[in-house]
Structure 1
Amino acid sequence: MTHTLDHDRRTARRSHRTAGWTTVAGLAVLAGAAVTAYSWRGDLPDRVATHWGIDGTADRFGSLNAALGGLLGVGAVLVLVFGAVTAFLGHSATTRRMGAATTIWAALFTSVLLLGTLHVQRGLADAHSDVDVSGVILLAIVASLLPAVAVGLLVPGDPRQPAVGPVSAEAPRERLSPQEQAAWIGRTEAGPGIAVGIVVVAVTIGLVLFTRMWGMLVVPALLLVSMAAMFSFVVRVDRTGLAVHSALGWPRTRVPLDEVVRADVIQVRPLREFGGWGWRVGRGGRVGIVLRAGAALLVERTGGRSLVVTVPDARTAAGLLNALADRERQAPGPEAGSAAG
């Protein structure tokens, strides 16, 4: 029990530490954007454009304070929400990395969007002048995405946390002889999520064609790359544990055999439990590679972490993983082997 509590405390500290510095960094970015924007007040129209229609024409106007409060207020709420998710659900490094990257992305995107749309209005006497903001939107997407990914990659991974007890006797198992070598390979591919992604890409391309903001073609391009990376995964169970990787090779994740507490089969409803399809974080901080509804492999691991993968024949995968984990823990260690010899 003490060992488990120590793991839980260390996990909580890692989550809170990551959430703390990313939230502070995000709020600092927003504060810097506010200071910069306010320093431009003498160069801006009395009423600045705050919203552009689908045809690229400004259709809403307000004071500089209203513009700052609106966009940066949204950014601050997003930073605090994503920071809280990281703090309370960041049991695994995957969740902490996703939370940290999203927190920084929210701060950078709203800040660049605010400063960019204000910058193109500097020196104008009237905000109703024809101003092109397509380049600003493109810059906000690219300039926020790359640093956010870098921040996510900088978040430390989980330390090794070997299990200290046997796999539950109630967990499913495949029969293995003491020396038998076995492996299981499965593949999970896109279900309804791919249809949703295709519709989003088609709508985005339609908007680009309608507005003639050709630089915005980067958005459907990024969506297509994301779909290719997230909607086909290879799942392998062998003597090293569980390994899951995208058909493109990345993203990938792994659960070492000595960290497997229990593997089982559960029924998954993607929208209700994970908010959608793809590589997701669900209720309780559970990480999911969820491409369709139905049976899924659940791997509970040390440190209060768990991974869900929707894959055909999940019961065989769970049974083999439990059997291999059992055998790994029952094998004599190096010292016992030397004494026997």
Structure 2
Amino acid sequence: MSATMSKPTRGQRFRCVLVGVVPPVVMLGVAVSLLAAWRGELPDPMASHWGTGGVDGTSSVAGAIVTVVVVCVLAGVVSTVASLAMSHPRQVRASVVLINFLVVVIAGLIPAVAAGQRGVADVHDVATPVVPILMTLGIAAVVAAGSWVLVPQWATAVGGPVGAVPAEDLASGERFYWQRAVGNSVVADAFYAATAVALVVITALTGLWWLLVVPAVIIVGAVLMGTVRVRIDRTALTVRGALPWPRQEIAMADIVRAEVITVHALRDTGGYGRRLAVRGEAKGAWGFVVRSGEAVLVTRVDGRRDFVVVDDAATAAGLINAVLAQRLPG
């Protein structure tokens, strides 16, 4: 039995749509205005792609404007549909944040790259625009972070369990401390390594060495999430990576139930690390995923659900349920 979602108010839906539509509209207006204003100063065609030998791809100014219009309109439409059609607040937030990030990157890069070509006679003299690209990515990250904050979240009704709900024997007032550490599986390590190596090879072939920042970020992420530590006592469930951040603490007073479920990392969440499950028993829940396997899924009083893949999940869930049972009247 899956949890039944409470419907968001019209105001919350409107805010979701607004947050998802404003960035594409702003990017559409800014990018098209700049390209139109610079049209007489830009080479036509202008440089649009760089390789090891410099410029190896061009695009007409009109084509660049059309690309911006199509990307922004499509982003606005998809974001609106996601905001109105999706019922789970976390899925709406993730969708809007991702769309806003991509629309700023794609629609923002075109005028950012064009800016350095104003007054240039030969496009093949244009160097790789590393700084404009990095600045665009930074702006996109800021917009994504702002979207994350602004997309409203609504309480979801607490439905029935989707997995086993064990309970450990625990005397009233008995103190305990349960802790486990779980590391990446071979599959997860291979996933990280293959992705990083592929990006390094692409960087070497293209000569765009600034792209090394991407595998560097992947390696940092692998270190941060390479090991997850789970701790449970009478006060809270605490989960953190190998370093103090990322860290999540859920007070026992905020939990209504703990279950044992099975998570398939790639199939259910699309990868490893701090993930949102898009299918499976944990669908709609955020979790810490370092490998596939059994996980503890906790449901909060406001309907939100969180999970962590960990060894001996049954004991962990059982201890949480034992604490919760002792707080029930009678």
The verdict on a shared fold, with TM-score over 0.5 as the criterion, is yes
| Distance in 1 between residues matched to 2:41 and 2:98, nearest whole Å | 33
Count of paired positions:
320
Shift of 1:48: 2.5
- RMSD between superposed Cα atoms in Å: 3.4
| Distance in 2 between residues matched to 1:151 and 1:157, nearest whole Å | 12
Match status 1:136 vs 2:132:
yes
| Distance in 2 between residues matched to 1:247 and 1:96, nearest whole Å | 29
| Distance in 2 between residues matched to 1:35 and 1:323, nearest whole Å | 62
- CA-to-aligned-CA distance 1:178-223 (integer Å, 9 cap, x gap): 1111232122222222322222222333343444434333323222
- CA-to-aligned-CA distance 1:51-91 (integer Å, 9 cap, x gap): 34x42643343332322332553455456546655662643
- CA-to-aligned-CA distance 1:225-265 (integer Å, 9 cap, x gap): 22222332211222223221222222222333233232111
Say which structure is richer in helix: 1
Letter in 2 for 1:235: V
Partner of 1:106, secondary structure, is helix
Query: Higher mean Cα deviation, 126-135 or 280-289?
Result: 126-135
Letter in 2 for 1:245: R
What is the aligned counterpart of 1:38 among 36, 39, 46?
Answer: 36
Partner of 2:170, secondary structure, is coil
Gaps of 5+ in 2: none
| Percent identity over paired residues | 30
| Distance in 1 between residues matched to 2:288 and 2:106, nearest whole Å | 29
| Distance in 1 between residues matched to 2:16 and 2:325, nearest whole Å | 36
Query: Higher mean Cα deviation, 96-105 or 242-251?
Result: 96-105
Letter in 2 for 1:121: Q
| Distance in 1 between residues matched to 2:105 and 2:160, nearest whole Å | 47
Match status 1:276 vs 2:275:
no
What is the aligned counterpart of 1:112 among 103, 108, 114?
Answer: 108
| Distance in 2 between residues matched to 1:307 and 1:29, nearest whole Å | 35
Match status 1:173 vs 2:167:
yes
Query: Higher mean Cα deviation, 305-314 or 197-206?
Result: 197-206
Q: How does 1:228-247 map to 2 (within 5 A)?
A: 228-247=223-242
Shift of 1:276: 1.7
| Superposition TM-score, scaled by structure 2 size | 0.81
| CA contact 1:49–1:58 (8 Å) conserved in 2 | yes
Are residues 83 and 306 of structure 1, via their aligned partners in 2, closer, same or farther at CA, if it must alter by over 3 Å? farther
Aligned to 1:336: none
| Superposition TM-score, scaled by structure 1 size | 0.79
Shift of 1:311: 0.5
Match status 1:16 vs 2:13:
yes
| CA contact 1:270–1:277 (8 Å) conserved in 2 | yes
